[in-house]
Amino acid sequence: MTIVLVTTTVPAYRRASRPADRRVVGGVAAGLADHLAVPVVWVRIGFIVATWFNGAGILAYLLLWRFLPLATPDDAPGVESATRAGLRGSDRLGRREIAQTVAIGAVGLGVFTLLSVVGRGPSSHVLVPVLVGVVGIALVWRQLDDAAWNSWLRQTSGPGHVGRIAAGVALVGLAAIFVMSEGRGWSATLDLVAAVAVAMIGLVLILGPWISSLWHDLGEERRQRIRSQERADMAAHLHDSVLQTLALLQKNAHDPAAVATLARRQERELRDWLYGDEAPAGSTLVAGLRAEAGDVETAHQVPVELVAVGDAPMSSDVAALVRAAREAMVNAAKHAGVGRIDVYSEVAGASAEVFVRDRGVGFDPDQIPDDRQGIRGSMVERMRRHGGDTRIKSTPGEGTEVVLTMPLRETTTQEESREA
Amino acid sequence: MSELRVVVVDDHAMFRSGVRAELERLGTGRVQIVGEADDVPSAVQVIGEQRPDVVLLDVHMPGGGGPEVVRQLPATTYLALSVSDAAEDVIGVIRAGARGYVTKNISAAELIDAIERVAGGDAVFSPRLAGFVLDAFAGTIDVAQVDEDLDRLTEREREVMRLIARGYAYKEVAKELFISIKTVETHVSNVLRKLQLSSRHELTRWANDRRLI
């Protein structure tokens, strides 16, 4: 059986997007706030203030709306299915946030009107049609964001199709009436050009987003298809492995340790698939530790609990850290005589730390048994060669903790980015 | 100490009967199950009728999940339980108001211990939850000045969280840091409070950043 790993390429820079689950109008403000790491209220106020200057805020908002992609949350399968089944509770937009936005908008509109009355802003002849137009565009675009409307617009028959044609015809008709109601002559030609331009703009406004979203949809659909195929493969694979485990459990029913190990291994597999970060094994520190923890657990029938904060890409230093951590785990599993090993890894700033802890028999660090000396020597030596540090704390009767510290050198990250 | 009255809210009947059997076997005289529920409406009803000391609450449940139950009856004490590793959901139920989080493979003795702890007003953090908390607050240091001071963990609180993530029990944390168990409990309660009060904006940002890794 061949397993094809499809890895998505992650761009080196962060791209702004509009979060579908947190938008009030188009999600532009929420997306910008995430991207710039400022509270969303500031962004909203910024847009309103910018609008006072010849409507720059509205223009900027519409442009960003057009060009920022809509981001629907891409959750792990377990989370996604829980969301679909309504087990998580919807992440509804707070009423307070909506009220706040409306309030900011109202104040902004008030100031805007005041400015135009005083005569320093655009006159109300321009203001009212522009506002009406903007609201219309916002309505159309907001609905275009939703998949249901996309499919509605893509119909080439039925009421949706008729509605679209009607809208187009109405616009063209409007333009024609505009021409006919004007007097003949040189100005009529000018008016005709203007009318055609108006009609074109109307058509582009209504159909433009649809055309571009059509392109986007095609790509999205292809990705969805690949993803669902991947999931079908995975489901089949898990199905097999779960069935295998259940069969093994029945066979080993008399051996509690074996049953527990089998159950834990199966649990880990399912967990990785349902809630995992999908980092391929061996690509990062945490992925490496997870694989080693699983190995030790299976080989020595001792549960290993891994908690990780932060992660670092794999490098020769990180690989040495993972191997040293493995030796510490194996040591604990072999000698401590305990029912559980706790492993904690943390990447903070320029160094990575791994703690391997057991509550076993422990030993006196001054009198190390010979059989441990070798393993310890190689663990300590290996860490030192890569510039790392090993500390062993142990008290007889209270357990042992191995603390591994490894500086993460700048060069490793540069190498990584060059490879990527 | 009188017997604690407990309601179990979980949509898996097998899990409910398992917890009941374990608590009856080991928890006689300490905890007593007075009711069960399998979704949000029935949970709200049972909790309203029984007024239990502690509710064992599953994170994922029909009708809006654990957080919805906490939102409807915020005055009760909740201990969240789940098999899920979805950090956002675990943090979500804690932020809704649960006093602690443990995984479902916890041993019966530890579970009884945890129930007594939350009933006594303390917070219960498993190593995994401590890891999530450190993760959640790690990304927010830069923007901390923008928000209230409340959002930052103190150096001491961070140390306590790290030790819990390393598998230390409260007693061992106290010994390691040369402080009393009561002080450890205070630190953990403070972290819980900060987690519940910190702004939604930063946690969302944290969640977004996590996906990018």
Residue with tokens 């490793």: A412
Q: Per-residue pLDDT tens, chain B, 213 aa: give them.
A: 578 899 999 888 888 888 888 888 888 888 888 989 888 889 899 998 988 999 999 888 887 788 888 888 888 889 998 876 677 778 888 888 888 888 887 888 888 989 998 998 888 888 888 888 887 776 533 333 334 444 577 888 888 998 998 888 888 899 989 999 889 988 988 888 877 766 555 555 555 554 433
Percentage, residues of chain A above pLDDT 90:
2
List the CATH number of the domain containing A356: 3.30.565.10
Q: Rounded mean pLDDT of chain A?
A: 74
Searching chain A, which residue's CA lies closest to the CA of residue B126?
A307
The answer to whether residues A370 and A384 touch, using CB atoms and an 8 Å cutoff, is no
Q: Is residue A356 part of a domain?
A: yes
**How far is residue A269's CA from residue A271's CA, in Å, rounded to a whole number?**
5
Region of A15 on the Ramachandran plot (φ > 0 left; ψ -120 to 50 alpha; else beta): beta
pLDDT at B7: 92
| Residues A124, A195: Cα–Cα separation, whole Å | 22
- Verify that A111 and A179 share a domain, yes or no: yes
pLDDT reported for residue A119: 66
The answer to whether A176 touches A198, Cβ cutoff 8 Å, is no
A197 with A288, same domain? no
Q: What fold is seen in the domain B1-121?
A: Rossmann fold (3.40.50)
Which residues in chain A touch residue B64, judged by CB atoms under 8 angstroms apart? 86, 88-90
- Check if the beta carbon of residue A18 is closer than 8 Å to that of residue A71: yes
Q: Judge: A307–B142 Cβ closer than 8 Å, yes or no.
A: no
- Domain end call among A165, A197, A229: A229
Same domain, A288 and A208: no
pLDDT above 80: residue A80: no
Taking the C-alpha atoms of residue A389 and residue A406, their distance in angstroms, rounded to an integer, is 6
Number of inter-chain CB pairs under 8 A, A vs B: 101
Please indicate, yes or no, whether residues A181 and A304 belong to a single structural domain of this protein: no
Pick from A10, A34, A346: which is nearest to B205 by CB? A34
Residues A217 and A354 in one domain: no
DSSP three-state, residue B48: helix
Same domain for A59 and A204, yes or no, is yes
Query: Which of helix, strand or coil describes residue B101?
Result: strand
Indicate if A220 and A294 belong to the same structural domain: no
Q: Are residues A105 and A216 in the same domain?
A: yes
> Full-prediction pTM beyond 0.90?
no
Range with the poorest average pLDDT among A49-53, A377-381, B75-79, B196-200: B196-200
Cα–Cα distances (Å) from A353 to A9, A209, A356, A377, B142, in that order, read 28, 50, 10, 19, 22
For residues A209 and A308, membership in a common domain is answered with no
Burial call A102-136: b when 16+ CB within 10 Å, e when fewer:
eebbeebeeebeeebeeeebeeeeebeeeeeebee
Domain assignment of residue A85, yes or no: no
Task: Residue B128: list chain A partners with CB under 8 A.
Answer: 305, 307
- B67 close contact with A: CB closer than 8 A: yes
Distance from CA of A275 to the nearest CA of B (A): 6
Contact A88 B204 (CB under 8 A): no
Question: Rounded to an integer, what distance in angstroms lies between the CA atom of residue A221 and that of residue A268?
Answer: 31
Distance CA A100, CA A44 (A): 10
Distance CA B151, CA B141 (A): 9
Range B124-213 classified under CATH 1.10.10.10: yes
The pLDDT value recorded for residue A413 is: 45
- Report the C-alpha gap between A31 and A15 in whole angstroms: 10
A163-172, A347-356, B196-205: range with lowest mean pLDDT: B196-205
Rounded Cα distance, B141 and A216, in Å: 37
Together in a domain, A338 and A190: no
Please give the Cα distance from A170 to A283 (Å, whole number): 58
**Portion of chain A with pLDDT greater than 70, in percent:** 64
Q: For B169, name the nearest residue in chain A, comparing CA atoms only.
A: A359
User: Which domain-ending residue is among A229, A254, A274?
Assistant: A229
Report the run of H or E that residue B59 belongs to, with start and end: none
Structural domain range at position A334? 284-419
Residue A53 lies in a domain: yes
Show which of A189, A212, A229 is a domain's final residue: A229
Count CA atoms within 13 Å of residue B156 on its CB side: 12
Nearest to B146 by CA among B192, B201, B99: B201
The amino acid that residue B128 corresponds to is R
B84 touches chain A (CB under 8 A): yes
Name the residue facing A307 among B92, B128, B208 (closest C-beta): B128
Q: Which residues contact A49 (CB under 8 A, 6 or more apart)?
A: A57, A108
Determine phi and psi for A255, rounding to 5 degrees: -115, 95
pLDDT computed for residue B104 by the predictor? 81
* Residues B11/B62, Cβ–Cβ less than 8 Å: yes
Can you give the pLDDT at residue B150?
A: 44
Domain ranges of chain B: 1-121, 124-213
Instruction: Spell out which residues of chain B touch residue A94, defining contact as CB-CB under 8 Å.
Output: 200
pLDDT at position A108: 81
Half-sphere exposure of residue A406: CA atoms within 13 angstroms, side-chain side: 33
Q: What is the pLDDT of residue B144?
A: 36
Contact call for residues A67 and A31 (beta carbons, < 8 A): no
Number of compact structural domains in chain A:
2
A207 and A62 in a common domain: yes
Closest by CA to B1, choosing from B27, B36, B20, is B27
Same domain, A224 and A291: no
Q: Which residues are bridge partners to B101 per DSSP?
A: B80, B125
Chain B nearest-CA residue for A39: B201
From chain A, the residues in CB contact with B198 under 8 A are none
